[in-house]
Amino acid sequence: MRVLLFDVFGTLVDWRASLIETAEATAPTGADAGWALVIDDWRRAYQPAMDRVRQGAAWQDLDSLQRQTLDDVLTRHALTVSAADRETLVRGWRRLRPWPDSGPGLDRLRRKYVTATLSNGHLALLADLLKFADLRVDAVLSAQLAGSYKPDPRVYRTALELLECQPEDAGMVAAHPSDLRAAAALGLRPIFVRRPLEWGLGTPPADPPALAGVLATDGLDDLAAALGC
């Protein structure tokens, strides 16, 4: 392998705890349950929104999709949030804390591999997020450059072309089996990162997908050690 592509939301950064914190600071719900259920529902609404693009609707960036799904989710939870506060929540996706091993692990892996994000976040969001989280990669790549969203194969193919990389020389690093299945189907090595807290304490994390050659790790330091970095 020469290139490692990294999923971002959930794999490198803790979207859930960060967004709950942003939401509680921005707009207390008054409900005992607080924001956790809303944020989880918001995140669940993300795949169906991207599906419409993957199935041929005009590409929209993640901010646009998140604005629409946030409105729906707030309505379902009967919450009234001002337009300014809703925008703060949407922008909250640019202020997500990294998992503790993400920064040090990326730095170790970067010594031996060309590292790049391959996220459904668009470039402007990723530039802000990587700066906020102080994460360094050699190239910031996004599904935006393919005008689609993962797991559309065009997204992975575009990233490989831009990095002049054959599929067998690349690994896809992600906490999500669907991302890894799509990458593996194209010949990239699937590298699973277990993120037990992605959906909070009460929800068990995904199991590594049963894919040929899958490398299952407990974080980026663990991955760096496994790859001899």
Binding site for its own copies (CB under 8 A): 110, 114, 116, 122-124, 126-128, 130-131, 136, 138-141, 144-145, 162-165
Of 159 and 220, the one with the shorter C-beta distance to its own copies is: 159
Residue 150 exposed, middle or buried by CB count within 10 Å (0-12, 13-18, 19+) = buried
Helix orientation angle between 36-44 and 46-54, rounded to the nearest 10 degrees: 20
The residue whose two tokens read 């929800």 is 203
Of 51 and 134, the one with the shorter C-beta distance to its own copies is: 134
Q: Which two tokens stand for residue 92?
A: 């909250």
Give, as one character, the DSSP assignment of residue 6. E
- Least distance (Å) between residue 96 CB and its own copies: 15
- Considering only CA atoms, which of 130, 135, 98, 90 is closest in space to residue 14? 98
Of 162 and 225, the one with the shorter C-beta distance to its own copies is: 162
Of 9 and 113, the one with the shorter C-beta distance to its own copies is: 113
- Least distance (Å) between residue 61 CB and its own copies: 9
Of 13 and 20, the one with the shorter C-beta distance to its own copies is: 13
Q: d(Cα 184, Cα 29) in Å, to the nearest integer?
A: 42
Q: d(Cα 35, Cα 27) in Å, to the nearest integer?
A: 9
- Considering only CA atoms, which of 63, 65, 61 is closest in space to residue 148? 61
Determine contact, residues 35/24, Cβ cutoff 8 Å: yes
- Least distance (Å) between residue 198 CB and its own copies: 25
- Least distance (Å) between residue 123 CB and its own copies: 5
- Least distance (Å) between residue 22 CB and its own copies: 20
